[in-house]
Chains A and B, each alone.
Chain A
Amino acid sequence: MMKKLTVVLSSVLALSTLLAACGEKQGGDNTSAGAAKSGAGSSKIKLSIWHNFSGDDLRAKAVRAQIEKFKQANPEIELDAQAIPPDGYRQRLKTVAAANEMPDVFFTQSGTSIKEYYEGGLLQPITPLLDKYPDWKNNFFQGAFDPLSFDNKVYATPLSASATSLFFYNKSLFDKYNVKVPKTWDELMAAVKTFKDNNITPISLGNKAAWLAQSSILSSLANRVTGTEWFLKAAKQDGAKFTDPEFVQALTYFKSLADAGAFQQGFNSLDNTQMEQYFVQGKAAMMIDGAWALTNMAASGTKEQLDQVEVTVLPAIPGGKGDPNTISGGAGGGLALSKNVTGKKLDAALELIYTVSGPEGMQAIAESNSLVNYNVKIDPAKVTPLFYKAYTLTQNVKFTPVYDAVLSSAGAEAINNGLQELLIGGKPEDIAKKLQDAQAKSIGK
């Protein structure tokens, strides 16, 4: 009798743990699905937003403050705001996208990223909002909507601008060794040589994560050689190939920097924060990096160190087809709207997007030391001097596409790995071919 009871009890226990494990999982799914579905029926509108402004930096705080403002102003709306750390954000979005449980409003990167959601039929355009506030719409820079539009319809407005290839240099080192700030490739190579001879690392680079050389250096350098038109064609595999001589030449230029010993020892095992610290501490004379470096350097450098830092554009390449007064970058990501949102909920969602990315939001983001694609008057007292320099620079240049925002994911991975190989002795032709093969295959050409 006793034994039977034990058997029954233990099996009940085992089953209940099993059920509990399953039940918990279902419960978790239900809440997010429920938030998406149940809005229409109940009196209180339920709205969900996902974004990756989870950090402690000023920009993330500014965006979260705008979301909080919307919450305060609309007590009748039950807002479920999820701040998800940037690493893995895209993976999580993709997972819910696969299950068709997208949040109502969500942040997505421009270019390849938003295109995937568009092609998956998960988005609706935010045209009504742009029609409602024409002043707001017209204050965006020309072309700011391009990487966020499909079929002439805008699906998101950029929350911030990306500038991936700012050319930073250390003014006191340039003065000390009497080096001219390079305007052409030859001047750059001469500067590299002078610094090298004086045991100063010419250019700080940290390419462990592999995207940096591509996003910051190649995007601009290759554009100087090939021009934008060629690149967009090659990315579409329409009349141009990455094995074309102009792209191989661009890679050869890049390689010549490594061959001249322009980068510090071990650049393939340093990450971008380490490279930024190395530069701001005055151990390297130059650095080619994105606008994110402005905040990173401000966080780790002292005032004296930061005051030495100047910022300009990458030098011109002799005979290149691209405009030298450009920076790779353009519109960053923005808040996109799920296709499933309708009726009253749609109005609420659009209002939420406007609160975060409207004029007030743009002002707040710009004053958090972030570049925007929107006409704002910045009070120099409210931002760091280095940011103000970069901000003024970006007002006077044109933007060219960043490689990984245009290439397919597989193409971007191929060139990222290829550049690491190039800088440790790979052949430009081989790397061009790898990119060509990966890009052609992934877009089915």
Chain B
Amino acid sequence: MAAASRLRSFILVGLLPALLLYLIFVLVPIVWSAFYGFYEWKGIGAAKFLGLANYTEALRDPIFWKALKNNLIIVAASIFGQIPIALVLSLVLWKSSWFHRFVRSAVFMPMVLASVVIGIMWGYIYHPQIGIVNYVLDKAGLHSWIRDWLGDPKINMYAVCAPIIWANIGPYMILFIAAIQNISSEVEDAAKIDGAIGYKRLYLIVVPMIWDTIKVAIVLCISGSLKAFDLIYVMTGGGPAQSTELLATYMYNNTFNIFRYGYGSAVSTLIIVISMSLVLGSQLLMKRK
């Protein structure tokens, strides 16, 4: 009894620093920023209390909704792009042979590159004059397919999804490989005897056995996609004409280019609310399954 309570107090003491840091640097700023959202402040001079005006303005601004739509495109691209590709790759590459390890590192490599590097690199890949995409299309005789990939508002949102998917497959693949390696060999053997091979093995054994990991991956996808900022900021800056604006770039531009700190705070509070409800909603959906 005494030992148990001592253990518990040790756990508490051990958690305390992390908890304190989390409180001070995460929760308190969130509350503060929600509070600053009630004010108008240019960074210099006195702040003016506005009530809910910043929040209603954001909700009425069509660009805010466009940004949300763009974020949802990225959420969809991540869930339906990253997770299936990562799953397939993990099924193919789960062994530890030299070749598998090499391909695995190659897939994981974008994760260790700075996102500014990735952004600039893909900026050149999509470059309207010297970009390799247009060059290949040109050489393949597909002239009508040549586009200004990042400048044409009809397609640029989809064009920027490609590097986002490419750069983020790595960690999901690692997660899935770890989960697959954890499936006990008894289950695998039993399944084999019962004739579950190939696709059947995937649907009936692998996916159900690693379902919890997939759920975690989906939640990570959603929250990561709503935070998306760096790649888009480098590649398009949210432009042209705000066609690739995301919630985060919208917030950044309002806060640090127009210097509307209050409005930016209000937008970031809204981002938190939206992310929370999306993550909670997805969890509820998956629980029912």
Binds A, one of B11-19, B94-102, B207-215: B11-19
Ranked nearest first, the 5 interchain pairs of A and B with the lowest CB-CB distance are A266-B128, A120-B44, A14-B17, A421-B241, A268-B151
Nearest-neighbour CB distance to chain A for B1, whole angstroms, equals 16
- Identify B17's interface contact among A18, A266, A268, A417, CB under 8 A: A18
Q: Tally chain A residues at the interface, Cβ within 8 Å.
A: 43
Stretch with Cβ within 8 A of A (4 or more), from B108-116, B184-192, B220-228, B252-260: B252-260
Instruction: Answer whether A11 and B237 are a contact pair too, CB < 8 Å, given A268-B148, A410-B260.
Output: no
- Cβ of A73 under 8 Å from chain B: no
Is the C-beta of B163 less than 8 angstroms from some C-beta in chain A?
no
A157 contacts the other chain (Cβ, under 8 Å)?
A: no
| Max chain A Cβ within 10 angstroms of own Cβ: one of B237, B241, B257 | B241
**B41–chain A nearest beta-carbon distance, Å:** 8
The answer to whether A10 and B14 touch (CB under 8 A), given A264-B129, A409-B258, is yes
Binding site for B on A (CB under 8 A): 3, 6-7, 10-11, 14-15, 17-18, 91, 94-95, 97-98, 116-117, 119-122, 207-210, 264-270, 278, 409-410, 413, 417-418, 420-421, 423-424, 426, 442
Complex Cα gap A6–B11 (Å): 12
Instruction: Say yes or no: is B81 at the interface (Cβ < 8 Å to chain A).
Output: no
Task: Verify A97–B260 contact, CB threshold 8 A.
Answer: no
The closest CB in chain A to the CB of B150 belongs to A269
In contact, A420 and B240 (Cβ under 8 angstroms): yes
B4 CB, min distance to chain A CBs, angstroms: 13
The answer to whether B148 touches A265, judged by C-beta atoms less than 8 angstroms apart, is: yes
Q: List 11 A-B contacts (CB under 8 A).
A: A6-B10, A10-B14, A94-B44, A116-B44, A119-B44, A264-B129, A266-B150, A269-B127, A409-B257, A413-B257, A417-B241
CB distance from B163 to the nearest CB of A (A): 14
Q: Is the interface of A mostly helix, strand, loop or mixed?
A: helix
Q: Which residues of B contact A266 (CB under 8 A)?
A: 127-129, 148, 150-151
Task: Judge whether A267 and B257 touch: CB under 8 Å.
Answer: no
Proximity bits, B138-157, A CB within 8 Å = 1, else 0:
00000000001111110000
Q: Are B151 and A120 in contact (CB under 8 A)?
A: no
B275 CB contacts on chain A under 8 angstroms: none
Known: A97-B43, A269-B148. A210 touches B14 (CB 8 A): no
Tell me whether A208 and B21 are in contact in the complex, defined as CB-CB below 8 angstroms, given that A11-B16, A265-B129 are known contacts: no
Bound CA span A269–B253, Å: 18
- Give the interface of B toward A (CB within 8 A): 6, 9-10, 13-14, 16-17, 20-21, 42-45, 123, 126-129, 148-153, 236-237, 239-242, 253, 256-260
Q: In the complex, what distance in Å separates the CA atom of A264 from the CA atom of B10?
A: 67
Structural contact, A94 and B17, CB atoms closer than 8 A: no
* Contact residues in B for A426 (Cβ distance below 8 Å): 241
Which of B16, B21, B129, B150: most chain A Cβ within 10 A? B129
Q: Which residue of B lies closest to A267 (CB)?
A: B151
Alpha-carbon distance between A189 and B152 when the two chains are bound, in angstroms: 25
Pick from B20, B43, B258: contact of A413, CB under 8 Å: B258
Contact: A122 with B44, CB < 8 Å? yes
Q: Closest CB-CB distance, B127 to chain A, in whole Å? A: 7
Is B242 a contact of A417 with CB atoms below 8 Å? yes
User: How many angstroms between the C-alpha atoms of A208 and B256 in the bound complex?
Assistant: 18
Tell whether, in the assembled complex, residue A207 and residue B44 are in contact, meaning their CB atoms are under 8 Å apart. Answer: no
Residue pair B237, A269 in contact (C-beta under 8 Å): no
Return chain A residues, CB-CB under 8 Å to B151.
208, 266-269, 424
Q: Smallest CB-CB separation from A431: which chain B residue? A: B241
